[in-house]
Structure 1
Amino acid sequence: MKKYIILLLFITGISACQKGFLDNGPLDKLTDDIIWKDSSLVNLYLANIYAGITSEYDRAGGYLMMSLTDEAESNRPNQQSHLVNFALHNSGTGIFSDEWTSGYVSIRKCNQLLEQLQTAPFSAALTQRMKGEAYFLRALFYMEIYARFGRFPVILKTLALTDELAVPRGTDQECVKAMTDDLDAAARLLPARYTDATQTGRATQGACYALKCRLLLNTRNYTAAAEAAKKVIDLKQYELFPDFSSLFQPGNDNNVEVIFDKQFGSLQSQQRHYMNDFEYPRNFTGFASGIDDPTQNIVDAFMMKDGKPWNTSPLYNPERPYDNRDPRFYSSILYDGIFFRGEILDLMRGSAANPSERGTPTGYYLKKFLDTTYDLTGITIPNFNNCIIMRLAEVYLNYAECQLQLGNPEEARTYVNMIRSRAGMPPVPAGEMTWEKYVAERTVELAFEGQRWFDICRWKKGPEILGQPIYGIVVSEENGKRKYTRTKVEDRTFISPMMYLFPIPLTILNKYPAGKELGQNPEWK
């Protein structure tokens, strides 16, 4: 899609104001008749819907999903993630309000596109593809809302002023049906792959099935989720990328493992993010970066290379605690003593990489998504590497979880071992595939990718994981030798099952008139 998205960011306004968005001589009177009959303009409109996707990279500089879990701690004391971690958020704090408001803006665009395509004078193939993309994108935006807030108003048409605008929330069954119906419709209309490289980044059948699998897994419909995962696998369009360490590097954008991603890098579309600027260690950027910092909790989750936990493996050496780890550890986390971008990283408090003010509170920095070739000579230079939203390894793990829940551990073991083999870790032996081993594998393979919060909610493990203390490491030096001391960073709170959903923001509730209230999530009232 880097080649597919075209200039005119202000196409955003087309859905609300189809006249006068260009002011160039004869083009100053663009009407519906012109816009919706011009395939290039409609492609612009569709491109703008894709641009409305909020990825983890778009959240950089605000707060990443990892800092709402035991994966990371923000070094910014005023971050909203701290409100969630201390159970201090409420309807007035507006957590994820953009996911609701911008989500419905994009949903309205999808609805309008679907309606206009009914009479658009385009080829059958082009019309079919665009309809499929609109169904897929509408489901994606609804899923982002549903994952955070639960039930939502199901709106499947463009609302006019004469329509009832105070649409009530649907039931869980109605919401899930709306999303799965859209994904099924999209899968029927979209190709398994695009032969034209300029179409890279568009939704495909595989993206539809993978998104449906994620949705149904999170609703704990294991049979249907397994079926959706198997459809992705049986398409045979994807493979595990052989090198995990470079999977997220821009040179490998759109690799064989990627099912769907948010495309950045089009100079025409101006799509960009600031992940590298905000997450690189301080000594590389020269300003207060390294915002979301991995915890000792997640470091401990990475096994030793013999497949055993750090506290039971004979390979663990407290004087060199980072030796002999799962190879994915070295690709995911920056730790004291790692050689990175031409230097050995010093994370002792007060160092250039870990200054006393706004250094890393945990003793670690994120590595997984950082572009190791990124030019750090300037400040806030646009970042263009893509953000993977769904990849084959997640589908394998989703399928394995379903098989465990359905009583088929050996089938689950097959797919877990595929991932472990790629990582360079020993396989799980026959008869030893347990739930604990599955969770451990999912935790490190998908670390920081934005799914852990939803995993924990699905497993109903909020008190056991989200409500537990966060730990870090203090690096010191004694007699010329490094010393690593585990330390508590903060106590976190998970007070009630109500926290599995976020409160609907007050700004949204207030848009509904008296007598037609939207309704707050249970206990958040």
Structure 2
Amino acid sequence: MKAKIIAFMALAILSASCSSDFLDEEPKSSLTAAQAYGSLGKIEPVLLGAITNWRNMQKDRAGLYTSLGTDEAQQGALQVTGDANQAGLDLYNGFLSQENQAIGQLWNDRWPVIEVAAQTIRALGTNTEDDSAKRDLLLGEASFLRATLMFELTQYWGEIPINDKAKTVEYGLKRQPLTLVYASIVADLERAIQKLPVTQSNPAFPAKGVAQALLGKVYLYAPEASGYRDYAKGKQWFEEVIKSGKYSLLPNYADVFSPDHANSSESLYEWQYNNNWPDNNQIQWQTGSRVLANIDQYAYFGGYDLILPTQYCYKDKTDGGIWEPGDVRKDASIRYDFTYKGVTPTLPAGFGGDELDPHVKKYEDIRVQGKQSFWNSGKNKPYIRYSDVLLNYAECLNELGNTAEAEGYVNQVRTRAFGGTLPAAMKWSGLSQTQFRDQILDERMRELAFEGWRRMDLNRTGKLVELVKARNKWAKQNGTIATFHSLYPIPIGEIKLNDEIGPENQNPGY
């Protein structure tokens, strides 16, 4: 039954993405997989629709859920009191359960897109049209799309089903061992690397570099139990990106998040948005201050406090946080000043009390100021940046015993962070392997805050419970976060609809 629902939702993606001429051939309700994927010309818009749906997962509230409950970000006080399911993501209480609607949305949104990718891969395997270049391109794109979503799902849920149409009888719909899951992801990414071009004319489509970087991440982030944690292979694939010469750091860190520098030399891939529905992302609606929203709906840094930096993320080192004097990333990433049109606002009664605490700044979109609501925010959102590649590469080097070389790559990132000249006191040098491991987590927060990698970083280093309990206000207050929270619960809807996943297959602790 679950397979039929996913297939139906996948066809809905297809129908929404196809041209009216194509839809006129048959009523939507009668489309079959054979018709939908019957030619390269039909597959192309279907795949674009799937990529658009992947982008849409990064929008609005749902695009920020996995950043909550970390040592980097937490909900605003009014949000915690207003939605018990959502609050559970930070409180780690009984509402973080198989009935949690936010968790259910994250799970359910991804499988129809995987279904489209899987159907595309199967159809291209039997396609005999003359345009082999287009067939290879579509195969590379579909393989990347399935891999990136499978990687995300297994990072958050562990063992998951594998949607491979060539092995439907073998795999069915049951959760598969991590070894098989990661083998599938690696195979998809190796195929994507082989088929994807170095550059795409449409930045919405992935190119070779992001597939190489993601494969490097797979080897770095895979759990030891999967058998795929391999620092040498991770190093190899990050090195491919570095040696390609295609990517470089922008000189000014703030420019990375400026619409004037969208799809820059630093971007391996970013999700494409603009200021008009349905292509806006509504991220500012969730990250800005409610105080400013009450003053002016056209204030570009207004919002409703879904996600705020933790104190550890916004404070200086001298005050128990991460920031070092002179690091320009601090003011580019976090808003401390809420002065608007010359007036410093005050906190009204009846609010949560933290609406004028430091807020996320990276996604503020000045283009809407005075013209559109901040709901129309539409800056591109980074997926993988070159600085991320350099830091991951440095981690692999450190784990392989080359700590001094690793420090050099971190210092490339830090040089930009200090305005182009790295003070001697801020240069990484002479660290032990263990010291490097500890410090790289802070460096990744400084460089990549609110870009969606923190939960994975904490899990792969075994630090989730320790650091979240110490630094996340709500998790610390509740005191119930435990080791089993490193994975999300399988949603109750999946258990009810999927005959091959029962209560006995739930992640431990839930």
Q: Tell me the TM-score normalised to structure 2 length.
A: 0.82
The aligned residue for residue 109 of structure 1 is: 116
Change (3 A) 1:518 1:225: farther
Tell me the percent identity.
Answer: 21
Change (3 A) 1:272 1:108: same
The structure that has the greater radius of gyration is: 1
Change (3 A) 1:24 1:432: closer
Partner secondary structure for residue 268 of structure 2: strand
TM-superposition CA deviations, 1:393-417 (whole Å, max 9, x none) = 1111111112222221111101100
Partner secondary structure for residue 260 of structure 1: strand
Q: Which whole-Å CA distance do the structure 2 matches of 1:25 and 1:332 have between them? A: 45
Q: Which whole-Å CA distance do the structure 2 matches of 1:34 and 1:470 have between them? A: 50
Q: Of 91, 94, 101, which aligns to 1:86? A: 91
Contact 1:35 / 1:41 at 8 angstroms: preserved in 2? yes
- Offset at residue 345 of structure 1 (A): 4.9
Q: Which whole-Å CA distance do the structure 1 matches of 2:311 and 2:44 have between them? A: 46
TM-superposition CA deviations, 1:264-290 (whole Å, max 9, x none) = 2397x9332101233222344336623
The aligned residue for residue 297 of structure 1 is: 312
Q: Which whole-Å CA distance do the structure 1 matches of 2:324 and 2:107 have between them? A: 44
Contact 2:311 / 2:471 at 8 angstroms: preserved in 1? no
Partner secondary structure for residue 440 of structure 1: helix
- Offset at residue 463 of structure 1 (A): 2.9
AA matched with 2:398: L
TM-superposition CA deviations, 1:156-177 (whole Å, max 9, x none) = 11899xx689522111110000
Q: Of 181, 185, 191, which aligns to 2:191? A: 185
The aligned residue for residue 419 of structure 1 is: 413
Partner secondary structure for residue 247 of structure 1: helix
Describe how 1:106-255 pairs up with structure 2 within 5 A. Answer: 106-117=113-124, 118-119=126-127, 121=129, 123-157=131-165, 167-194=173-200, 197=201, 199-219=202-222, 220-255=229-264
The aligned residue for residue 5 of structure 2 is: none
The aligned residue for residue 65 of structure 1 is: 66
Change (3 A) 1:511 1:191: same
Partner secondary structure for residue 389 of structure 1: strand
- Offset at residue 506 of structure 1 (A): 1.1
The aligned residue for residue 506 of structure 1 is: 492
**Backbone CA RMSD of aligned residues:** 3.5
Contact 2:144 / 2:211 at 8 angstroms: preserved in 1? yes
The aligned residue for residue 349 of structure 1 is: 347
Structure 2 runs not aligned, ≥5 long: 1-7, 223-228, 298-302
The aligned residue for residue 451 of structure 1 is: 453
Structure richer in helix, relative to its length: 2
The aligned residue for residue 517 of structure 1 is: 502
Contact 1:56 / 1:449 at 8 angstroms: preserved in 2? no
Q: Of 255, 264, 267, which aligns to 1:258? A: 267
TM-superposition CA deviations, 1:342-401 (whole Å, max 9, x none) = 54654x533xxxx64145357211112211332354446433321111111111111111
The aligned residue for residue 469 of structure 2 is: 467
- Offset at residue 112 of structure 1 (A): 1.4
Q: Which whole-Å CA distance do the structure 2 matches of 1:438 and 1:399 have between them? A: 11
AA matched with 1:86: L
Q: Which whole-Å CA distance do the structure 1 matches of 2:359 and 2:211 have between them? A: 34
Partner secondary structure for residue 390 of structure 1: strand
The aligned residue for residue 282 of structure 1 is: 290
- Offset at residue 95 of structure 1 (A): 4.3
Q: Which whole-Å CA distance do the structure 2 matches of 1:29 and 1:334 have between them? A: 51
AA matched with 2:402: N
Contact 1:191 / 1:204 at 8 angstroms: preserved in 2? yes
The aligned residue for residue 359 of structure 2 is: 365
Change (3 A) 1:94 1:323: closer
AA matched with 1:185: R
Q: Which whole-Å CA distance do the structure 2 matches of 1:400 and 1:439 have between them? A: 12
Partner secondary structure for residue 203 of structure 1: coil
Contact 2:14 / 2:46 at 8 angstroms: preserved in 1? no
- Is the deviation greater in 271-280 or in 402-411? 271-280
- Offset at residue 210 of structure 1 (A): 1.1
Does structure 1 residue 401 correspond to structure 2 residue 387? Answer: no
TM-superposition CA deviations, 1:451-505 (whole Å, max 9, x none) = 111111111112321112546xxxxxxxxxxxxxxxx996143542211111111
Change (3 A) 1:111 1:511: same
- Offset at residue 126 of structure 1 (A): 0.8
TM-superposition CA deviations, 1:288-314 (whole Å, max 9, x none) = 6233122221123x5xxxxxx3259xx
Q: Which whole-Å CA distance do the structure 2 matches of 1:111 and 1:390 have between them? A: 23
Q: Which whole-Å CA distance do the structure 2 matches of 1:382 and 1:170 have between them? A: 41
The aligned residue for residue 49 of structure 1 is: 50
Partner secondary structure for residue 68 of structure 2: helix
Contact 1:132 / 1:189 at 8 angstroms: preserved in 2? yes
Contact 1:72 / 1:293 at 8 angstroms: preserved in 2? yes
Does structure 1 residue 432 correspond to structure 2 residue 435? Answer: no
The aligned residue for residue 485 of structure 1 is: none
TM-superposition CA deviations, 1:302-341 (whole Å, max 9, x none) = 5xxxxxx3259xxx9xxxx999452111111111xx3766
**Corresponding pairs, count:** 471
TM-superposition CA deviations, 1:424-447 (whole Å, max 9, x none) = 153425323632332221121111
Change (3 A) 1:14 1:510: closer
Q: Tell me the TM-score normalised to structure 1 length.
A: 0.80
AA matched with 1:87: Y
Q: Of 98, 109, 119, which aligns to 2:105? A: 98
